[in-house]
Amino acid sequence: MPLFSGLLILFALLTAETQAKHDGLAQTPPMGWNSWNRFGCNINETLAREIADSMVAEGYLEAGYQYLNLDDCWQISRDPVSNKIAADPKTFPSGIKALADYVHAKGLKLGLYSDAGVMTCASRPGSLGFEEIDAATYAEWGVDYLKYDNCHTNGVPFLERFTAMSRALDSQTRPIVFSICEWGMNSPWSGWGRELGHSWRTTPDICDKFDDGVPGGEPGILARVSGAFETLVSVLGIKPIIWDIAPKILPARLVEILAHSRCSVMTLLDMNAELTQFAGPGGWNDPDMLEVGNGNMSYEEYKTHFLFWAALKSPLLLGSDLRNWGKQYAEMVKHEEVIRVNQDPLGRSVKRLKITRNGDREEIWGGPLAKDGAGRSRAVLVLLNRGRTSVQNYELPFSTIEEAFGEVADHQITTSDYQIRDTWERRDIGVYNGGEGPPLKTSLGSHCAVMLVVTRIDGANIVQPTRAAAPTMPTFQYGRNAIEAPENTSSASGSSRTYRSGGLTYSTSN
């Protein structure tokens, strides 16, 4: 796209009033499974049916994961007369309609992939110029979700390409969730993404890596160079052209390194830090699919990944082999309290509230949740240690807890009492009095995170504990660098107490 034309379109988007699709779809972030992260192009009908079986039999559907999404490589060609897209007969001999029927019979929904270009990223037939016929075909087959990628665009302006498919889907009688996979190149969160789709990618593709940087969470030199290059070509509107040409003129290994130098969980988290206000019911920021269980990160790193994607209100799309992965990961992604945060009807993403540097880097993220059944304001906090060493006595100030509530907080409440719950441990920690007590303190192992749900309590409705007994300074110790205490022990010294239960240590001091 010429630079001048790109600026005109950008100006029009920024000055236009944002209009959502208003079709009632994706009122909470979509949940399901996608084939790409684990299988790439190695997909077939048998795999899809077995994944469907696992989603039902192993409780993923019950937990909320309802979409079974085939990514690139299910398609092979177009009919020379009708131009209808056709599934690869070698890998999907029964066709997509039969697969959709199988999936629907199990209570699941089927998703497909296409591309806003002449070819997909894997050089299969794209939908550019065939939007109406493809949308009608998907509806005829019973497709419920479409991921729409951004390769091989032939220089056609992005807004023209994604609008064509959005309008084609809107013209169908079957509701189809539209996932815009434009990699965040043209700021889809600025308005046009919500107008055209139900989610929009904010980042490049994810990879199975925790951090691209150096100790302390700072980006490495390769990530900086790649980032500067990507920013330049995005501003010029030539990124699709560059990535089409690069594999033809550069060694394959160099292309791979450049493409994956800014793809880690922490890098993608950073890319979303300034975008959190754009997510909401019917339209979601999408930092790409989950890598949980694919083997290149530790358990604690995968847990941090999952907690943040849930708190960001990202679509939760599993990207592993659900038939053959560890029980610990199956239990992780089905954690009902974490999913409840992701599916909270208020639909507000957490934002980064605080960064502290003590040799490494610790962060606090937070955001409001819908009020509980008693009408009490709630918020979620996620505490993160990005560094390579454990962090002791990291403070969570009262002011930061207040900030997490945002404008949803009920400021008519005159007390400062908070019920604190550790979602992962499914445990109420106690009542914290921010007006009188010292800051909450945490200890976190390297690359660990903890998610807390905080409920603001009207002092008239609770029995005020004495300060000596109140758990006003809980200390959570997680991960491989956590300090261990004897199991099921408690001790008291003066006005300080520690409690060991369920793998966590809580302490109070006054």
Sheet holding 199-201, edge to edge: 284-286, 199-201, 177-180, 145-149, 109-115, 67-69, 31-34, 316-318
* Residue 69: alpha-carbon gap to chain centroid: 16
Closest CA to 230 of 291, 288, 200, 271: 271
The upper half-sphere exposure of residue 463, i.e. CA atoms within 13 Å in the direction of its Cβ, equals: 3
Check 71, 144, 149, 288 and give the catalytic one: 149
Q: Which regions of 314-407 does DSSP assign to beta strands (E)? A: 316-318, 351-358, 360-369, 378-385, 391-396
Check 101, 170, 205, 458 and give the catalytic one: 205
State residue 457 phi and psi, 5-degree precision: -110, 135
d(CA 229, CA 223): 10
Report the SS3 class of residue 100: helix
Catalytic site includes residue 205: yes
Which are the contacts of 311, defined by CB distance < 8 A and separation ≥ 6?
A: 341, 342, 349, 350, 365, 367, 380, 382, 451
Catalytic site includes residue 270: no
Find the helix packing angle between 45-57 and 95-105, rounded to 10°.
10
Dihedral sign, CA of 370, 67, 282, 190?
A: positive
Residues noted as catalytic: 149, 205
